[in-house]
Structure 1
Amino acid sequence: MAEGRRARGSGVPGRCPLLVPRLAPRLGLRFHARLVPLVVLLLVGLVGCGGRTGTDSARADVQRVLDRRAAALLGHDASAYAATGAAAGYAAVRAVPLAGWAYRVTALQRSGDSATADAELSYRVDGYDKAPVTVGRTLRLARDGAGRWSVTSEKPAAKAGEQLWDQGVVRVVRGAHSLVLGVGQSDARLRSFAELADGAVPAVSAAWGTDWAGHVVVLVPKSLEGMAGLLGSPASAYRGIAAVTTGETGGGAKTPADRVVVNPDAYDLLGQVGRQVVLTHETTHVATRAHTNAATPLWLSEGFADWVGYRETGRTPAEAAPELQQAVRDGNMPEALPADGDFGFYGDANRLAQAYEGGWLACRMIAERWGEVKLDAFYRAVGEHRARAGAVEGALRSVLGTSSEQFTADWRAYLKAQLG
């Protein structure tokens, strides 16, 4: 059925005389010229000639409500926000410095005066996000007697991670090079993370260079469960993991800013040096993200981040790689550099520790033997490839003048010398 078709030459939009004789038999009506007015009246609610269906109209109305809601949030207008529906979310996100906040309705399901909207929420943190962060959201709405829609609830879409404000009222602390957002944390505790991040940023720039944003956003949820909620994964995946970095790799300058997500439960078990190493490690991922892609093996990306983290600490291999040292001394020298599968959070904890330690010592060996400038160049050269095949081998030849076989043999000898 072609909605909105007009009679040829009529020049009158919104009329559908050509549809009437076609639809009348489908409705069990016998078409007759005298019945045209009656048939048109019967069909006007079914066809909506030249107009929108009821669902389309409701979707447009809901979009307008969400547009007003977003404008009220950006304008810090609590009354205008409350006029669009449930007001609890306003207080939760109010302190976050936002440069953008917008919804786009992608689907609407109606049931009488109730509706469920699927939407994309795009937002930018002022001064930190060069491009919007886009997440899926599900909103429930109700319509009052006057036909006005209002939001009754909002939550992450199915399979989407939570946002920090979904977990409670967000508190904000600014550092010299950092923005720390937390839920269920005191300002003093958030300031301690800002101090760590402020120490991490110049340390990363000293090792990697200044061709990155030079600042970092740190999210501090209330607990391990809160961390898992932000990442959309079970808590068991991150137990014992102090922090992770989210963000797209290899996306260039327009990729949304990464977030360093902290596990406060694990952080409490670390000493001051360990806490600094972790924040510096994660900040390194933020800095190197544009040069990291599918061609970059985890031993290199994680090993380089650890190398930057430990670079100014004075920690020796024996102090920083106890699990791998034990394996070497027990005669279990690894035959090859750690595979990506060795870095899985669900696997053996010893295997995971040895993978990180092995990657770190590979990068440490490059820095000692070829120099820190060559280590940076090697990392970037691997990232210039888009496919894994040949990326590391090519960078080893072009930057370090060696082969994969020789590099692996040198690494194994280095492990023996440092840990044996």
Structure 2
Amino acid sequence: MSVTSPLPPPAHAGEPAQPLVVREPTVAIIPTQYRPPDRGGYSGYAAPGYTPPPNYYQPVIPSQYPSQYPRPVYLPPPRRRRRGLAAAVVVALLLVLGAGGGAAAFVAAGPDGVARSLGGPGKAGTAPDARDTAIIEVLNRRSKAVNSRDKTAFMADIDKTDAELTKRQETVYENLIKLPFAEFSYKIGGGGGYDDSIPTELKTKYGDQVRAPGVAIIHRIEGVDNDPVAAPWVPIFALVSSQWRLVGEAKGKELPSGVGGQPWDAGPIIVEKGEKVVGIFSANNRSRAGTLIRIADEAMDQVALVRPNQWVGKVFMTAVRDRAVFDAYFGASPERVDQVAAIAVPHYDDVPDWNGTANYSATRVIFNPDEIDEDNDVLSADMSHEFTHAAMAPVTTGWTPTWLVEGFAEYVSYKGAQIDTNSLKRALDGVQTENLFAGEQFYDEPMNYITAWLANRMISETYGETKLIQLYERFQQTSNEEVVISQVLGVPRATLIKNWQDYVAKQKR
């Protein structure tokens, strides 16, 4: 994950050196759950008996976080965001998908998009089996309508007495059929669903004949995704004139993060395809869309210099003007939206709130609408930082220290950059280098981005870039920095720290 560097956009070979202006980072979430050295496993951080896969992303967990939540989401204190050429523009938040909602038993939809089971307690007035079967049939028809481009069928199961809902669903349909899906289906869960999130007015209108199940929208973007990706959705169904119909969509901070935050949830969209990036933009922003895709492809080229393989090499990016799409990831902390420029969200083959064994499948990058018109040089540098997180996602674990996660992304973003030495000296004046920090402590000091970048650059210069990457990858096996540094670099951690301190001091002279 990343907050952007306090460094300016890099100048590369043949370009004039950029003055280094300290940029204050915005809020950030480390993509992994930190465990101090010598604490293996997920003991104390996960529900008893739960063992996530090695590449399962979890954020930093504060000590005071209630122990009853197996997959917490941590948001560190907000930081101001400055605008302009030297601003902190993009913050990559590799969020675990929400901590809300109860566990649900799921049965996967088949390749034909047919959902197999709903489950959950019954409601008075309609036998559970009949009700659940009817809702499953609605979802089956919906997925088939998307795959066959049949708007009439898609709209047939919507309560047309709600004009606003009807209009909204027409836009959703038009957006869905514009997306280059290689696969699209639904997966629905039982457990109690989210009936407590049904608005009072709908409960009053439909009585007991209303239901809000958790639904995973399983999809693959053609040319981007190798594996299925799950997006959470909480539709509300009710019995209308003896037929189960879609009557609304649940909202609220108790829902999984990302509900309402998918590209099809925006207003009218367009799709722009680059060589390595597929981007979703607002339909009225077509001219900017082409520029952003070009910048994104160039940023991907920068990432490929260091990470040419070992990952899919493609990114799906959303940069729409619809603020609600971005805000959907901040349900528990809406006051922090304005401090965040973009988020890089890990997605899984199921919704982690509902399936503790979900496997990482892809990282999506989503922009704050306020940042879409930022300076191209700033966006380029920040995109390369964000895309580095996506590139390293398959080997980033809950044990990867923050100084390495963030410093490596800065290293890639500034690889080959011509940094003005006098500006660097000024930026490092008074900077503290007592340690390289892991966990949330890293974000307490914005200058840790510069010092972590210098640590990664020093390792690459001293031991070689291959060793730097090996160091990063080795944290798939253990959280013990002493062991990993000794095994990969052949020196004690204390020696690495001393060498890094000397390296930083050298930049000051």
Contact 2:270 2:281 in 1 (8 A): yes
Where does 1:5-404 land on structure 2 (aligned, <5 Å)?
Answer: 54-85=127-158, 86=166, 87-88=169-170, 89-98=172-181, 99-106=183-190, 107=192, 114-124=209-219, 125-145=221-241, 147-155=242-250, 158-160=254-256, 161=258, 162=260, 163-183=262-282, 186-222=285-321, 226-230=325-329, 232=331, 234-247=333-346, 255-266=360-371, 268-269=373-374, 271-316=375-420, 319=423, 325-326=426-427, 328-330=428-430, 332-344=431-443, 351=445, 353-381=446-474, 383-385=475-477, 387-388=478-479, 390=480, 392-404=481-493
101-110 or 149-158, which deviates more: 101-110
Structure possessing the higher relative contact order (Cα contacts under 8 Å, 6 or more residues apart): 2
Matched AA of 1:237: R
Q: TM-score, normalised by structure 1?
A: 0.75
Where does 1:401-412 land on structure 2 (aligned, <5 Å)?
Answer: 401-412=490-501
**Aligned equivalents of 1:402 and 1:185: distance in 2?**
56
From the superposition, tell whether residues 112 and 235 of structure 1 become closer, same or farther in structure 2 (CA, over 3 Å).
Answer: closer
- Structure 1 residue ranges, 4+ long, deviating more than 6 angstroms after superposition: none
Instruction: Give 1:230 shift.
Output: 3.8
Contact 1:105 1:120 in 2 (8 A): yes
**Aligned equivalents of 1:55 and 1:79: distance in 2?**
28
Q: Secondary structure at the match of 1:257?
A: strand
Instruction: Give 1:116 shift.
Output: 1.9
Q: Secondary structure at the match of 1:377?
A: helix
Matched AA of 1:292: T
Tell me the residue number matched to 2:54.
Answer: none
Instruction: Give 1:171 shift.
Output: 2.1
**Aligned equivalents of 1:299 and 1:318: distance in 2?**
24
Matched AA of 1:281: H
Contact 1:377 1:399 in 2 (8 A): yes
Q: Secondary structure at the match of 2:313?
A: coil
256-265 or 234-243, which deviates more: 234-243
From the superposition, tell whether residues 357 and 238 of structure 1 become closer, same or farther in structure 2 (CA, over 3 Å).
Answer: farther
Instruction: Give 1:120 shift.
Output: 1.7
Instruction: Give 1:395 shift.
Output: 2.3
From the superposition, tell whether residues 295 and 217 of structure 1 become closer, same or farther in structure 2 (CA, over 3 Å).
Answer: same
Instruction: Give 1:204 shift.
Output: 1.4
From the superposition, tell whether residues 239 and 404 of structure 1 become closer, same or farther in structure 2 (CA, over 3 Å).
Answer: farther
Report the aligned-residue RMSD.
3.0
**Aligned equivalents of 1:155 and 1:171: distance in 2?**
26
Contact 2:315 2:365 in 1 (8 A): yes
Pick the structure with more helix per residue: 1
Tell me the residue number matched to 1:3.
Answer: none
Contact 1:122 1:132 in 2 (8 A): no
Contact 1:171 1:181 in 2 (8 A): yes
Q: Secondary structure at the match of 2:389?
A: helix
Instruction: Give 1:126 shift.
Output: 2.7
**Count of aligned pairs between the two proteins:** 351
**Aligned equivalents of 1:278 and 1:72: distance in 2?**
38
From the superposition, tell whether residues 177 and 370 of structure 1 become closer, same or farther in structure 2 (CA, over 3 Å).
Answer: same
**Aligned equivalents of 1:248 and 1:357: distance in 2?**
29
Matched AA of 1:129: D
Q: Secondary structure at the match of 1:208?
A: coil
Instruction: Give 1:273 shift.
Output: 2.6
Instruction: Give 1:58 shift.
Output: 0.9
368-377 or 291-300, which deviates more: 368-377
Instruction: Give 1:96 shift.
Output: 1.6
**Aligned equivalents of 1:224 and 1:404: distance in 2?**
45
Radius of gyration: which is bigger? Answer: 1
CA deviation profile, 1:51-71 (whole Å, cap 9, x unmatched): x97122111111111110111
Matched AA of 2:232: G
**Aligned equivalents of 1:233 and 1:185: distance in 2?**
30
Matched AA of 1:115: V
**Aligned equivalents of 1:143 and 1:329: distance in 2?**
67
**Aligned equivalents of 2:346 and 2:404: distance in 1?**
18
From the superposition, tell whether residues 364 and 179 of structure 1 become closer, same or farther in structure 2 (CA, over 3 Å).
Answer: same
Q: TM-score, normalised by structure 2?
A: 0.63
Matched AA of 2:368: N
**Aligned equivalents of 2:150 and 2:422: distance in 1?**
57
**Aligned equivalents of 2:421 and 2:268: distance in 1?**
42
From the superposition, tell whether residues 104 and 265 of structure 1 become closer, same or farther in structure 2 (CA, over 3 Å).
Answer: same
Gap regions ≥5 residues in structure 1: 1-51
From the superposition, tell whether residues 262 and 211 of structure 1 become closer, same or farther in structure 2 (CA, over 3 Å).
Answer: same
CA deviation profile, 1:85-130 (whole Å, cap 9, x unmatched): 1443312433122221214152576955841231322221233233
From the superposition, tell whether residues 67 and 178 of structure 1 become closer, same or farther in structure 2 (CA, over 3 Å).
Answer: same
Contact 2:266 2:322 in 1 (8 A): no
